Structure 1
Amino acid sequence: MSLGFYNLDFVNPKGKKGGLIVGWEIGVDMEITSKCNNMINGLVFSDPINEPWMISLVYGPPNRNNRGTFWDDVDKVREAFNGGWLCLRDFNHVFSQADKKGGKPVATPSNRGSSAVIDKNGLIDLQLSGNPYTWSNKKEGLANIKERLDRGFANERWRFIFPRATVKHVPTSSSDHSPIVLNIDGK
């Protein structure tokens, strides 16, 4: 199964949960450098050709008890590579009250670890377009909860290389998550 991509790599799910897959097209020169339960890291050599950059595709643990290890793993990527870095996809984490509509308020203490890693590594939230929420519990009325769990963060060097990059939230009709599309040209 190629899903329309020339290259694929993956992390197997644990039972019915988790798992990651990344696909990239012909012409994209990427080398997978490491992977774990919640992240696939790769060096992209093809754009721009003279300055490789790191991409981390993440699936944050849904269970809060496992998030400390996840944020430690994110932090280690930065320690291993000091060029342009993009960290993208489903963090399974609400970073601020503005990222949530409905349900209980966001607990500030649960954000301390994530905010510290984001700040320490100089990661900047990429501009988004489309619906501000990427997840919904699909319930009606007052029981409906929407959250922005999927996003892209990049460091200053990556933003310098791709100053017009945006993340678009694509509407969905069946899944509880909206796909996100990275556009490095800002179109």
Structure 2
Amino acid sequence: MEMIPSYILLEALGSEFDDYTYLPAVGTHGGILLAWKSREVRITDPMFTTNALTAKVSGADPTPWWISIVYGPQDDEEKVTFLDELRHIRATCAGPWLLCGDFNLIYHDEDKNNSNLNRRHMGKFRRCINDLALKEIYLNGRRLTWTNGQDPPTLVLLDRAFCTSDWEDLIGECHLRCLAFVLSDHRPLLLDCTPSPAAHRRFRFEEFWLRQDGFHDVVTAAWNSVSNPDPLQRLWLRLQATANALKSWSARTVGSARQRMAICREVIARFDKAQEDRLLTPPERWLHQTLKVTYLGLASLERTIARQRSRLAMLKDGDANSAYFYQHSSFRRQKNRIYSVLSDGHVLSDHKDMAEAAFAHFDAMLGTDSRRDISLELQDLIATSENLQDLDAPFTEAEIWNAI
């Protein structure tokens, strides 16, 4: 469609999307529409290229960012030009960037359900992603987004969303999922960037607490503060008291490492500015040096916290910075977060409804004696022996050679 009149947009999206721009289609190929609610967001500086529509987005956040929507070509030679087009767009639009659409390219073997792969184009696409420092937004619930409708079908992951690290830091957590497709051979994607609902934070033990002064005293005092004649109740109350005491102690002694680092930088900068006009007094010089030492300690602490939360145990110290750990932990939260639950044939997305459904399910399951078709005969699985002294005997030379 070379022209998109307003009434088509009104019929398709409703009256709330009151402004739009588009890249016309060429015959039956291409065509990109970008529509928005002008009361909530402002789109400026549209840029039209062969296979992409790019614009600057300004909303509630003071920092604007760029969005590029693509419709990749199908011809093999044009795909190479398309990748160069993406590099040109990035060179023109500096700052946070979201890149999404139908790329008509893959870069992993698992992006297609058969072995008919063009590895030359896969390598070029992968190299382009690395050159542009892009991170793919995790697609929840689906692995492939396009089908040719044949029997057996060919399924491919052609529709994606990429972003830069500064866009992820600016927007925060987002959720990308597939919707049902009826008329198109592509599954439509929905990228939800609304803030996640506040939920009760569970207690999590922080490994760096072990190296903080006063940790053992807090645990000892909290553990001995509870007494109960029932041993199980006593254990539960002691664990609960210890968790509460550790959270309170951590908030007082550690607090927000990033906020304390920002305060240290501000005070150090003011001392540096004052030195240009006068000599610092002895107490000021002492505080100046103390803040520098404190800042280094906080930086090390922040890195330790980020490393633990990222769960990247295979990296050694110095292999990556704190920003990498924070980005990986953000990816883990996006991947592991539950956004909907199917209960009794109904899809629940509200956080309270999902919690109630989960509680009802496990409450009905736990402690209920149900009939099982299969049972385990433990006496047949574990061979009993009257003489267990052989277990303490040293290995013989023949056993060692057999193991080798």
Which residue in 2 is equivalent to 1:162? 171
Structure 1 residue 106: deviation in Å?
Answer: 2.2
* Residue 108, structure 1, aligned to residue 119, structure 2: yes
| Cα distance in 2 between the residues matched to 1:64 and 1:122 | 24
Match runs of 1:1-187 below 5 Å: 1=7, 2=9, 3-4=13-14, 5-26=17-38, 27-48=40-61, 50-102=62-114, 104-140=115-151, 143-185=152-194
**Does the CA-based 8 Å contact 2:106-2:125 persist in structure 1?**
no
Q: Give the greater-gyration-radius structure (CA).
A: 2
C-alpha displacement at 1:11, in angstroms? 1.3
Distance 2:189 2:83 in 1: 21
CA distance in 2, matches of 1:124, 1:13: 28
Compute the displacement of 1:47 (Å).
4.0
Per mean C-alpha deviation after superposition, the further-off stretch among 38-47 and 177-186 is 177-186
Give, in whole Å, the separation in 2 of the partners of 1:37 and 1:21: 14
Distance 1:138 1:10 in 2: 28
CA separation in 1, counterparts of 2:142 and 2:49?
30
Deviation for aligned residue 1:98: 1.2
| Distance change >3 Å, CA 47–CA 182, structure 1 → 2 | farther
Q: Which has the higher strand share?
A: 1
Find the aligned partners of 2:180 and 2:159 in 1 and give their Cα distance: 13
1:17-71 alpha-carbon deviations (Å, 9 max, x no partner): 22111111131111143112310001001142x1110000000111121011111
- Give the structure with the higher percent helix: 2
Distance 1:61 1:47, change over 3 A: farther
Matched residue SS, 1:13: strand
3-state DSSP of counterpart to 1:115: helix
Highest relative contact order (Cα 8 Å, sep 6+), 1 or 2? 1
Runs of 4+ that moved beyond 6 A:
none
Per the normalisation by structure 1, the TM-score is 0.91
Contact 1:44–1:55 under 8 Å retained in 2: yes
Whole-angstrom distance in 2 between the partners of 1:144 and 1:118? 28
Distance across 1 between alignment mates of 2:150 and 2:31: 26
Please tell me the root mean square deviation across aligned C-alpha atoms, in Å.
1.6
TM-score by length of 2: 0.44
Distance in structure 2 (CA, Å) of the matches to 1:82 and 1:182: 22
Comparing 150-159 with 176-185, greater Cα deviation is found at 176-185
Residues 47 and 92 of structure 1: is their aligned pair in 2 closer, same or farther, counting only changes over 3 Å? farther
